[in-house]
Amino acid sequence: NGETSWCFSQIKGALDDDVTEADIISCVEFNHDGELLATGDKGGRVVIFQRDPSSKASTPRRGEYNVYSTFQSHEPEFDYLKSLEIEEKINKIRWLKRKNQSHFLLSTNDKTIKLWKVSERDKRVEGYNTREDNGSIRDPASINALRVPSIKPMDLMVEASPRRIFANAHTYHINSISVNSDQETYLSADDLRINLWHLEITDQSFNIVDIKPANMEELTEVITAAEFHPTECNVFVYSSSKGTIRLCDMRSSALCDRHAKLFEEPEDVDITNKSFFREIISSISDVKLSNSGRYMISRDYLSIKVWDLHMETKPIETYPVHEYLRTKLCSLYENDCIFDKFECCWNGNDSAIMTGSYNNFFRIFDRNTNKDVTLEASRDIIKPKTVLKPRKVCTGGKRKKDEISVDCLAFNKRILHTAWHPLENIIAVAATNNLFIFQDKF
């Protein structure tokens, strides 16, 4: 029937119910060929998984990943001027395209961005003239012959080293980083400003967007996400808490306060629809440009929208994510869930999109068939090749056998971060401290 059936492949992370705050996953990102998958957590660690070569060679192909490298990216800090603690939590990870044997990635917490080099070492040098193999200096008087150092094989070591640290450029919390298609520059965005950096220069950045009003009491909106265009190095977009997306062109002026395009849903003329929560739920939590660069998706609290960059007036597609929560907004406001920031992502050929929901549910929308599915990242199905059963939520009346009542949803189990392999149907879904990997049915 042409539809993708998803099945369980792997789960990473401890399976006990006692979850330490530091182990909660805060971002997930495949690299450009999908060979590596990086996660960041609230404890400031980055874990990189590598595709298992045998799983790729098997027929049918399996999406299996093994731990490749783990390192502490950020430490907790204290801002003495503002008397503020700076969390170590990793907000975003972005891979650079591979240029040589090593891999490079950017990781950021609220204030500091770091460029990491991840490289392999499987050889060591022995037989130095001036020092012993253990590193101690040899007494020059005892050296009576010249040795030629030799290279010996050793067990594979994966080393992560910080190559650049980009600090002190953001007054507010960084919510996005995005590498430019030129692979030389990148942007970082906080609540009110977007900065442009060169990857080689750490002590200066250009401020390209500044929406801070002269008087902070007049503040009406904040920047929620920003991303570079995948192929046009001068174009980037950023979304706001007011539900708008602005597209800017850096060729027009150095400070891109005047946008080139403004994407906004026309306001609902039906006065009955204007609720107290309208502004909160229209805030955009994530925006992602398609791989082709023609479209973008934006995620607000209840829906995900597809925009054509050639048409600003309205989205070309709107998919409800969890419409059944519209009647529950009052209690979601009281327990702060209404402020949750759900991310969204495209598949490799822009034909499907994915985003998360509550109760460890995540949603996949097929743009070609207009079909959508709700799946669950559940520990009950962690047997390889188990096919995921579509889940249904019942909003009232008689509940069918396989349905779950909207009142029984677990709002503390939320899927905020997901990633889709750039070339295959393999998806990574972060559920609290566990990373689930699913793939299309064998």
Cα-based angle 245, 251, 256 (whole degrees, multiple of 5) = 45
Label residue 122 by pLDDT band (50, 70, 90). Answer: confident
Label residue 60 by pLDDT band (50, 70, 90). Answer: confident
How many Å apart are CA 274 and CA 243, to the nearest integer? 15
| Predicted local confidence at residue 271, as pLDDT | 53
Please tell me the least confidently modeled range out of 11-15, 103-107, 253-257, 377-381: 253-257
CA 390 to chain centre: 25
Which is more confident, 398 or 78? 78
| Predicted local confidence at residue 269, as pLDDT | 60
Over residues 18-57, the pLDDT tens digits come to 889 999 999 999 999 999 999 999 999 999 999 998 888 8
| Predicted local confidence at residue 127, as pLDDT | 84
Q: What is the token pair recorded at 26? A: 């805060």
How many Å apart are CA 196 and CA 154, to the nearest integer? 41
DSSP β-ladder status, 6-12 and 113-126:
unpaired
Domain 6-118+168-440: CATH class, spelled out: mainly beta
Over residues 304-338, the pLDDT tens digits come to 999 999 999 999 999 999 999 999 999 999 999 99
How many Å apart are CA 115 and CA 200, to the nearest integer? 10
Residue 408: Cβ within 10 Å count: 11
| Predicted local confidence at residue 399, as pLDDT | 77
Which is more confident, 271 or 31? 31
Domain spans, the chain: 6-118+168-440
Q: What is the token pair recorded at 72? A: 């502490």
Q: Say yes or no to pLDDT of 1 above 50.
A: no
The mean pLDDT value for 379-384 works out to 84
| Predicted local confidence at residue 80, as pLDDT | 87
Q: What percent of the chain has pLDDT over 70?
A: 98
Label residue 14 by pLDDT band (50, 70, 90). Answer: confident
How many Å apart are CA 358 and CA 377, to the nearest integer? 11
Q: Where are the alpha helices (DSSP H) in 283-324?
A: none
The pTM of the whole model exceeds 0.85: yes
Over residues 208-250, the pLDDT tens digits come to 999 999 999 999 999 999 999 999 999 999 999 999 999 999 9
Whether the upstream peptide bond of residue 76 has omega within 30° of 0, thus cis, is no
Mean residue pLDDT across the chain: 91
Label residue 376 by pLDDT band (50, 70, 90). Answer: very high
Which is more confident, 18 or 203? 203
Which value, in Å, is the radius of gyration of the alpha carbons in the chain? 24
